[in-house]
Structure 1
């Protein structure tokens, strides 16, 4: 202002005109200064700071008032905005967060509200199973420590061989003590699926989730011979499927044995309708309990010979037989004895 006054004195006289012009210049200067002066309200983390500036640019106004805004700080409106008197400026200062992720420890400056938005802003992606500690909703604060545990699952498939079973079956057509493979066994297969869980690359658990048989095993079948061979005193081999020890008596066709006399229409006729006979060169007639030896069964009676179960008797119950002879003398000679009865094949 002093320079202005001196200039006026130099160019103008000390008259009233000079005074008027001087006052006019002063007024114009004051108006100009007041019109460019601005009062701004700057809120840093919620705390109000009142500043005065002649700058029209927000960044310039903050610098002039020694207010620093870091690269990770958030500011509203933007730094390159123009400001006007009584504008409100909001600054959120970034805090330092320590982050453990993927084997590294990172120091991150962030002005985001919580952990989740910080990770998004930093371009750190989370997979569906990953865990964040503390939780993603935790508000950011200076010195906060955050850890991300990478969780991964894999399903491993293993093919396992299934052993076959061996089944033994009795075969009456095969000599006793002999065996024969009827069907060869074949192994099967099954696929076992195991779910393995890894945390930060280290296995922590595994669990079988399914077992699927893709090929059934085929059982091995072995026939075991049950056909016995007996050689009586005559020296002829007898092939039999079973042998039973039985109490043997003898009978003939007379009245004492059958209750029928000669002339009776059924005299000498067996329960199966055949003629009772003693055939030393072939099959003779014997009486049996059909529940033990079915009628029509061919047998070999030790000491008697070949026979067919053709007859029954009231006293022949259970493990008893009655062998037939043509006369009573042979019946008496036979008497009662225990014999082996071979069921013929």
Structure 2
């Protein structure tokens, strides 16, 4: 018996030696093959599957594994390789659904990581006391749903009493139920009842108060739970504009029976076009009998644009403040000649004979009473001249050309002025309407005097004349006829 046991031991020893020799030979052959091919063995691990590949770049190793039947790498998948290691690990992406506070959200997780690691990767850190289902240590192998119930320490204040609670998840409503607080009709809470609980949340229940609110022409009584006047208006659906006014401070504590009056304030910038009255200037002349007057230049009203800041309270104008004004057209002075001479039996015109044969008044042989006047010095670019009444006048431009005269008793001009002496018809493209002028012959003997561009001259538009001078009578028109005159344009 003993010799048989010895023989069996010898057989097992011989077999072990043979196996060792075979394994050693295999390893030597594998090393020789690797040395001959110039590559080393490496692994690609994809879940429960392992692929043996040649060592190289990660992309090359994955390509070899793919040729061996590995599933392609998708965008949600990730690969991991420790530096200088021979192993590449593939982690396949899966859907991770998280339920927290009554809300469900979708995230990305990877097979092989734990639930806690997946939550951490998605920014959902856990505290030690938080409850997680399934376990936070579970290794993810497929898509799954995780429910988180966080420990929330909250306070509930109602009816002058405050309760401290510790709850795992839930909403504000569940906290009120836990604190045995019931909301009465009109009572309010500083959070919506469906708001998920958060650690440190302070929940305040407000009892409804009776307030009277006047706004937009109506007065109503409300039962509202609010801490301040502003909050009460908001809960009653009454918007308040930036300029609106309240009879009580905006942040005043709301009280039972309070009366709130809201006035709507509207601020507008209004623009208006307004007329500017013209002034009247009187000039004394001996050419008219004392006590008589004659208009030399028709007045023309100016215009201006004014901007106002208007404040309306509940639709009624409260104040109006002038912000700015801009003159768009200067008024033209009215010039009236006032007689200082003696009364004669035959009134004389204020014009002197220019040698055409016409004599002032009814006399056919006598000369004008006013005497000779000096010739005018003309500078087309502007300067000064002395008018028929001895005043030195500044002008901006002088134009010399043919003028005619016209008369429309009781008529009006193209711009709406009364057609009287002092109105001058022009081409407005050359001489703008409203331009003040002094008109006389170059030698100073025929004086039309002061006037304003206030009519359109047909012959002026054709270029035949530079101005058509309006008179009150045809007799006065005959003095001018058609002759060369100088137009001094005044500033």
Instruction: Compare CA radii of gyration and give the structure with the larger one.
Output: 1
Alignment TM class, shorter chain as reference: 0.3 to 0.5
TM-score by length of structure 2 reads 0.31
TM-score by length of structure 1 reads 0.41
